[in-house]
């Protein structure tokens, strides 16, 4: 159970000195160059194999062997095979800058994947609220989760916040969810988030005012990373 979160807005990426990150959620705005940001979002908007099968099960649903609690539009590029990053066979047309984004994040924050988990994209329209979930097991102290928001425009009143919770809770009424909410981070174009994937979280759907404009994000996460030492850090820069 998490008692609080601390949202920290950073001017630039930094070398991670220790893990776990604890209850800190780090926010980096204007993470990619304007050109690369636009290329990335253009690719997602013109994605040919979006599938409504990016499912998340809550812990309680998994225990009961139940169906996923919600579905989002998704596209998977890389998954784990014995902890190593493997290209998904159903997705051959990903652009080279998705590899670049992965490598840039590893370099900017000075780590390498030991147990890679997933890289892909999510898309949500109104009424597709993400349920409360965690990205990894509770004993994974050396995990990292990243979210990158690709939309090139977003109105503040369209919602889409990422909400963090004190514990796993089944999606219910707004009042019910508010009882467990610890804080939230607004959806903003070209924004990168870094946090401990064990913190329960869920993405809010866009409001009806978005008029079917979808909330697009890239997900990158791993169950275990190794922090680079000083010599390795500067060899990569």
Burial of 224 (0-12, 13-18, 19+ CB in 10 A): middle
Distance from C-alpha of 143 to C-alpha of 116, rounded to nearest angstrom: 9
**Which of the pair, 87 or 145, is modelled with greater confidence?**
145
Instruction: Find the farthest-apart pair of alpha carbons in the chain and give their distance in angstroms, rounded.
Output: 51
Please state the pTM of the whole predicted model: 0.90
Residues 151 and 189 sit within 8 Å (Cβ to Cβ): yes
How many Cβ atoms from other residues are within 10 Å of residue 7's Cβ?
17
- Tens of pLDDT along 140-170? 999 999 999 999 999 999 999 999 999 887 7
The pLDDT score that the predictor gives to residue 63 is 42
Q: Report residue 53 CA to chain centroid gap.
A: 17
What length is written for the chain? 237
Query: Please, where are the H alpha helices in the chain?
Result: 34-45, 59-64, 96-109, 174-178, 230-235
| Locus of tokens 């997900």 | 219
SS3 43: helix
Residue-wise pLDDT tens digits, 93-105: 666 778 899 999 9
- pLDDT band of residue 172 (cuts 50, 70, 90) is low
Domain residue limits, the chain: 6-11+31-235
Name the pLDDT band for 68 (thresholds 50, 70, 90): very low
Topology at the third CATH level for domain 6-11+31-235: Jelly Rolls (2.60.120)
């Amino acid at each position: 159970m998490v008692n609080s979160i601390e949202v920290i807005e950073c001017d630039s990426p930094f070398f991670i000195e220790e893990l776990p990150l604890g209850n800190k959620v780090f926010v980096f705005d204007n993470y990619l160059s304007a050109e690369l940001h636009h290329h990335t979002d253009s690719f997602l908007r013109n994605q040919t194999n979006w599938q409504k099968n990016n499912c998340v099960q809550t812990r309680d649903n998994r225990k009961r062997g139940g169906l996923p609690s919600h579905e989002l539009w998704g596209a998977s590029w890389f998954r784990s095979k014995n902890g190593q990053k493997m290209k998904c066979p159903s997705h051959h047309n990903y652009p080279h800058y998705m590899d670049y984004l992965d490598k840039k994040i590893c370099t900017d924050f000075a780590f390498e994947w030991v147990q890679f988990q997933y890289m892909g994209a999510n898309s949500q329209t109104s009424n597709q609220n993400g349920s409360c979930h965690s990205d990894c097991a509770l004993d994974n102290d050396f995990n990292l989760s990243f979210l990158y928001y690709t939309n090139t425009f977003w109105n503040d009143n369209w919602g889409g916040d990422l909400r963090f919770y004190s514990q796993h809770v089944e999606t219910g009424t707004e009042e019910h969810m508010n009882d467990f909410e610890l804080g939230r981070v607004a959806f903003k174009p070209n924004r990168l988030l870094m946090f401990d994937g064990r913190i329960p979280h869920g993405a809010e759907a866009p409001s009806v005012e978005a008029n079917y404009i979808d909330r697009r994000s890239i997900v990158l996460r791993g169950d275990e990373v190794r922090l680079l030492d000083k010599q390795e850090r500067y060899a990569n820069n």
